[in-house]
């Protein structure tokens, strides 16, 4: 049995999230089905994070245990051949130690959220960014965001369906950067609550539009109440960017 670490890139638009679902297609199912066609084995995919319906990934780290004697490059090529036409690609594949785990060995995760701030309809970025026509003050958004950095109880920014044992998390980074008409929100932490990034982005967008005072973000955090949430940003602007490990596999 060999453990292979995979790096996945995917467009989440046609999927009901990364994790296998009973009522719709998932990234996990697509990769596992491809692996079965390659190896004849029912290998299970384990990943560093879980993404919702419509959320994308630039470099999701995952692993599978496979008995078949196959080189990493050949496995990657075969998986990609069988993944077509699903918008999922294995961009890297390597053999890792048996005790390396894509989820439990991960010490940090980062996301980016894309907002296209213009009135003209999206063409190339449809389903890949949140369009906001109202001018955004990204500097005000960035100032308000810093109240969320650090160790906090993020109950306000947590989905009612979140399965995490505690709402207390340490947010390492939350920066807002503007490049032309695009506003990008960069978030990094050891782990995140369900909907945490989208909920934070939604409230920061309200600040950028002038509908919330900057201080209201800190007030919403202090409320520790989901009812204090102003807005949950849509999933299609969110991308899983990186999984961090103490040592390379």
108 exposure class (CB count in 10 Å sphere: 0-12, 13-18, 19+):
middle
Q: In this structure, what token pair is assigned to residue 100?
A: 């390396």
- The Cα 202–Cα 127 span in angstroms is 17
- Which of 6, 66, 49, 20 is closest to 191 using CA atoms? 49
Q: Each residue of 68-105: b (16+ CB within 10 Å) or e?
A: eebebeebbebbeebbeebbbebeebbebeeebbbeeb
Residues in the chain: 249
The one catalytic residue in 11, 23, 52, 172 is: 52
52 in active site: yes
Any idea which residues carry the catalytic annotation? 52
């Amino acid at each position: 049995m060999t453990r292979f670490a995979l790096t996945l890139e995917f467009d989440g638009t046609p999927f009901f999230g990364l994790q296998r679902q009973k009522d719709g297609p998932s990234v996990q199912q697509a990769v596992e089905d491809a692996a079965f066609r390659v190896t004849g084995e029912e290998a299970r995919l384990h990943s560093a994070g879980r993404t919702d319906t419509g959320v994308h990934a630039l470099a999701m780290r995952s692993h599978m245990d496979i008995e078949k004697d196959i080189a990493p490059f050949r496995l990657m090529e075969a998986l990609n051949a069988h993944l077509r036409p699903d918008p999922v690609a294995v961009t890297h594949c390597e053999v890792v130690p048996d005790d390396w785990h894509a989820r439990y060995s991960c010490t940090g995760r980062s996301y980016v959220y894309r907002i296209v701030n213009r009135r003209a309809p999206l063409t190339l970025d449809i389903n890949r960014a949140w369009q906001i026509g109202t001018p955004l003050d990204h500097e005000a958004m960035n100032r308000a965001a810093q109240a969320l950095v650090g160790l906090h109880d993020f109950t306000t920014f947590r989905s009612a369906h979140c399965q995490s044992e505690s709402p207390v998390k340490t947010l390492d980074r939350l920066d807002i950067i503007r490049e032309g008409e695009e506003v990008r929100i960069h978030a990094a932490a050891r782990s995140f609550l369900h909907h945490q990034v989208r909920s934070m982005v939604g409230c920061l967008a309200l600040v950028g539009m002038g509908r919330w005072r900057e201080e209201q973000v800190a007030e919403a955090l202090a409320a520790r109440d989901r009812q204090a949430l102003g807005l949950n940003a849509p999933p299609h602007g969110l991308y899983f960017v990186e999984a961090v490990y103490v040592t390379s596999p």
